[in-house]
Structure 1
Amino acid sequence: MLVSKTLHDLPTKLDNGRPMRVYVIAPVLPDYPQAKFPGVVCFSEIYQVTGPVERFAGQIASHGYVVACPSSYHEFAGPEPLSYDTEGTDKGNDYKIQKTIAAFDEDATLAIDLLVSHPNCNGRIAATGMCLGGHLAFRATFDPRVLSSVCFFGTDIHSATLGKGKQDDTLARVRKGELTDNGELVMIFGKQDTHVPRAGRDLIRSTMEDANVTFSWLEVQAQHAFIRDESSKGRWDAALTRSMFTFLMEVFERTVGRDLGPRIASGKVAEHVC
Structure 2
Amino acid sequence: MVITQETHDIPTKSGTMRTYLYRPDTEGQYATIIFYSEIFQQTAPIARAAAILAGHGFVVLVPEVFHELNPPGTVLAYDDVGKDKGNSDKFTKPLEHHDSDTEALVDFARSLSFCTSQLGSMGVCIGGHLAYRAALNPDILGAFCLYPTDIHSNTLPCQPGNDSLSRTADITAELMLVFGKQDPHVSSEGRKLIYAKLEASARNFSWLEVNAQHAFMRDEGERYDPAIALQMYLKAVAFFQQALK
TM-score, structure 1 length as denominator?
0.86
Comparing 109-118 with 146-155, greater Cα deviation is found at 109-118
Q: For residues 228 and 168 of structure 1, what CA distance do their matches in structure 2 show?
A: 30
Offset from partner CA, 1:124-173 (integer Å, 9 cap, x none): 01110000100000011111111101000000000011136898511111
- Give the number of the structure whose alpha-carbon radius of gyration is greater: 1
Secondary structure of the residue aligned to 2:185 is: coil
Q: For residues 43 and 244 of structure 1, what CA distance do their matches in structure 2 show?
A: 16
Offset from partner CA, 1:226-248 (integer Å, 9 cap, x none): 00001x3x110000101111111
Secondary structure of the residue aligned to 1:151 is: strand
Residue 96 of structure 2 contacts residue 158 of structure 2 at CA under 8 Å; is this kept in 1? no
Q: Which residue of 2 aligns with 1:265?
A: none
Counterpart residue type for residue 42 of structure 1: F
Q: Does 1:178 align with 2:166?
A: no
Q: For residues 59 and 114 of structure 1, what CA distance do their matches in structure 2 show?
A: 22
Q: Does 1:74 align with 2:70?
A: no
Secondary structure of the residue aligned to 1:202 is: helix
Counterpart residue type for residue 53 of structure 2: I
Residue 5 of structure 2 contacts residue 23 of structure 2 at CA under 8 Å; is this kept in 1? yes
Secondary structure of the residue aligned to 2:217 is: coil
Q: Does 1:246 align with 2:239?
A: no
Secondary structure of the residue aligned to 2:91 is: helix
Q: Does 1:60 align with 2:53?
A: yes
Q: Which has the higher contact order (CA 8 A, sep 6+)?
A: 2
Offset from partner CA, 1:193-232 (integer Å, 9 cap, x none): 00000000000000000000000000000000000001x3
Q: For residues 94 and 160 of structure 2, what CA distance do their matches in structure 1 show?
A: 9
Q: For residues 53 and 162 of structure 1, what CA distance do their matches in structure 2 show?
A: 22
Q: Which residue of 2 aligns with 1:121?
A: 115
Residue 13 of structure 2 contacts residue 101 of structure 2 at CA under 8 Å; is this kept in 1? no
For residue 100 of structure 1, report the CA deviation from its aligned partner.
1.4
Q: Which residue of 2 aligns with 1:264?
A: none
Offset from partner CA, 1:234-264 (integer Å, 9 cap, x none): 11000010111111111111111x2xxxxxx
Q: For residues 3 and 9 of structure 2, what CA distance do their matches in structure 1 show?
A: 20
Unaligned runs of 5+ in 2: none
Secondary structure of the residue aligned to 2:234 is: helix
Residue 97 of structure 1 contacts residue 164 of structure 1 at CA under 8 Å; is this kept in 2? no
Q: For residues 228 and 80 of structure 2, what CA distance do their matches in structure 1 show?
A: 27
Counterpart residue type for residue 21 of structure 2: V
Counterpart residue type for residue 8 of structure 2: H
Q: 1:1-274 counterparts in 2 under 5 A?
A: 1-14=1-14, 17=15, 19-29=16-26, 32=27, 35-78=28-71, 79-163=73-157, 169-174=163-168, 177-179=169-171, 182-230=172-220, 232=221, 234-256=222-244, 258=245
Aligned residues: 244
Percent of aligned pairs sharing the same letter: 40
Counterpart residue type for residue 66 of structure 1: V
CA RMSD between the two structures: 1.4
Q: For residues 27 and 240 of structure 1, what CA distance do their matches in structure 2 show?
A: 25
Counterpart residue type for residue 185 of structure 1: L
Residue 135 of structure 1 contacts residue 156 of structure 1 at CA under 8 Å; is this kept in 2? yes
TM-score, structure 2 length as denominator?
0.96
The structure where strand makes up a greater share of residues is 2
